[in-house]
Amino acid sequence: MNYISAAFGWLANSAEWRGSTGIPTRLAQHLITTGIVVGLALVISLPIGILVGHTHRGAGVVGAVAGAARAIPTLGLLTLFGLMWGIGLKAPILALVILAIPSALAGAYAGIQAIDPAVSDAARAIGMSELRIILQVEIPLGAPVIIGGIRAATLQVVATATLAAYIADNGLGRYLFHGLEAHNYAEMLGGAMLVIALALILEVVLAAIQRWVKLRVTNPRSSRRQQLHI
Amino acid sequence: MKWLRNNWQEIPGLVANHVTLSIPAIVFSVIIAVPIGRLAHKRRLIGGPVLGIASLLYAIPSLPLIIAILVLTGLSARSMWTMTIALTVYGVALLVRTSADAFAAVDKNVHDAAVAMGHSGMSVFWRVDLPLAVPVLVSGIRVMTVSTVSLVTVGALVGQSGLGWLLTNGFQRGIAAEVATGVIATALLAVILDGLVMVAGRLLTPWTVRRHRRGKPARVTRRSRGALA
């Protein structure tokens, strides 16, 4: 139990909250890396996933990619890329993007694919172009599942960005690796608590956003814009 | 390739350690998650919070969890129980939702018929609900198995043996071939265990295999009808 109080002591130490290795800097690095990675992964995976869901072509490939990616050990991809591109942010960002793509891709595909084909056909029958069907019918209806995929990808990246500190001087994971090397249990546990808290907060926030979007889709009357139309 | 030729003797031992760390966690996860999943399905009031907690647990990053377990339990960094506890936490978190789905997928009429025939609660569970839930359960156990095998590698960062050692040792010594071997061996092991779970599932539910065979012609006609239209 004295380790817990030591960890809180470490967290409360004002020296840990200043400078280039301070908690605010590390937290900002962690969040910026996560943001860049999730952004890149979404730019790649959302259009592909939505297109596959819309055309119903290539679903097998999406499933295979998502399944195979789970078998690849995260740490392996990080260390391999770290050896290939050296110390710096390029290797972890690329590795994390590869890890984030399957979840986002699977979510985007599943969200669009699950829509009743009669709905899309009805939109087609009233003369909507394919692009308008995708943008105004399928994406809004599939949004809860698509956001679920983004949520899974984000959580995975925040967690794995911790491991990225093994190959780059970046993010909250540094405290874990530094603590492990120095046998500093207060720093190790304090750092672990920071990462866990960050992940849990993100999970709760993203889950709330997903629930809110789902509510808007399943019960559109609750949204004000729709009420005005009626 | 040269590295592999000179060092291949190390690999069987690492695979054995990797399997020793994976299997108990997979088994414990199933034993713990299935009853919780069934409870979550039967009692909706408990089910919501239980599934919420499971998804929160799954959100905890692996290395911080291992370190927290290490420090808080006072177990040695090399003790297999450190890893087993961490992996079981993830396994249960991942499997509880699928277990609840698996029991929800059992036809309500079949369940009610078994009750009407006089099966006791326990008997309905063991002889009706559980066998019928196996196909969906197996799909969840397969996902969990692959994820567990892949997660074991993270243990190398705190000094656990297993294929993850090839990743950290290869990185520190700058041998890409060693890291690549670790990645490929881990993925292969995951695929093999996944296949074993799938086969076990088939053996446990022989009726699904028979139904597939019977179902085939129907599917073909539906597809050819679509082609004609």
Partner residue facing A73 (CB), from B143, B171, B186: B186
Look up residue A49 and give its two tokens: 């996933």
Give chain A positions within 8 Å (CB) of B168: 75, 79
**Are A192 and A185 contacting, i.e. CB atoms less than 8 angstroms apart?**
no
Task: DSSP for B50-106, please give it.
Answer: HHHHHHHHHHS-HHHHHHHHHHHH---TT-HHHHHHHHHHHHHHHHHHHHHHHHHTS
**Are A72 and A9 contacting, i.e. CB atoms less than 8 angstroms apart?**
no
pLDDT for A30: 92
pLDDT for A221: 62
Identify from A11, A79, A162 which residue to disrupt to test chain B contact, counting B C-beta atoms within 10 A and taking the largest count: A79
- Quick one: average pLDDT of A117-135? 92
Calculate how close chain B gets to A222, using CA atoms only, in Å.
23
Give chain A positions within 8 Å (CB) of B223: none
* Chain B interface includes A77 (CB < 8 A): yes
pLDDT for B9: 85
pLDDT for B220: 41
In this structure, the number of other CB atoms found within 10 A of the CB of residue B191 comes to 16
In this structure, the number of other CB atoms found within 10 A of the CB of residue B19 comes to 17
Give chain A positions within 8 Å (CB) of B176: 80, 83-84
Give chain A positions within 8 Å (CB) of B56: 200, 203-204
For chain A, what percent of residues have pLDDT higher than 70?
95
Look up residue A21 and give its two tokens: 């290795």
> What is the amino acid identity at position A178?
H
pLDDT for B6: 84
Give chain A positions within 8 Å (CB) of B72: 3-4, 189
Q: What is the block-wise mean pLDDT of chain B (229 residues), using blocks of 10 residues? A: 83 94 96 93 87 88 90 82 93 93 90 90 89 92 94 92 93 92 94 94 82 49 41
Chains A, B: CB pairs < 8 Å: 130
Partner residue facing A76 (CB), from B56, B65, B167: B167
Per the CB < 8 Å rule, is A72 touching B154? no
* Chain A interface includes B53 (CB < 8 A): no
pLDDT for B224: 40
* Chain A interface includes B61 (CB < 8 A): yes
pLDDT for B221: 41
Identify from B15, B167, B193 which residue to disrupt to test chain A contact, counting A C-beta atoms within 10 A and taking the largest count: B167
**Are A92 and A161 contacting, i.e. CB atoms less than 8 angstroms apart?**
yes
- What ipTM score was computed for the predicted complex, to two decimals? 0.82
Per the CB < 8 Å rule, is B150 touching A71? yes
- Quick one: average pLDDT of A28-49? 94
Give chain B positions within 8 Å (CB) of A167: 171
Q: What is the rounded distance in angstroms from the CA atom of residue A202 to the CA atom of residue A121?
A: 37
Give chain A positions within 8 Å (CB) of B90: none
Q: pLDDT per residue over A63-81, tens digit each?
A: 888 777 878 888 999 999 9
Per the CB < 8 Å rule, is B156 touching A80? no
Look up residue A204 and give its two tokens: 């709760």
Give chain A positions within 8 Å (CB) of B191: 71
Per the prediction, chain A carries an average pLDDT of 87
Per the CB < 8 Å rule, is A196 touching B61? yes
Per the CB < 8 Å rule, is B63 touching A196? no
Task: DSSP for A56-123, please give it.
Answer: T-SHHHHHHHHHHHHHS-HHHHHHHHHHHH-SSSHHHHHHHHHHHHHHHHHHHHHHHHTS-HHHHHHH
* Chain A interface includes B200 (CB < 8 A): no
* Chain B interface includes A52 (CB < 8 A): no
Output B32 or A60, whichever has higher pLDDT: B32
Partner residue facing A159 (CB), from B61, B168, B187: B61
pLDDT for B210: 62
Partner residue facing B150 (CB), from A70, A162, A199: A70
Per the CB < 8 Å rule, is B174 touching A202? no
pLDDT for B122: 87
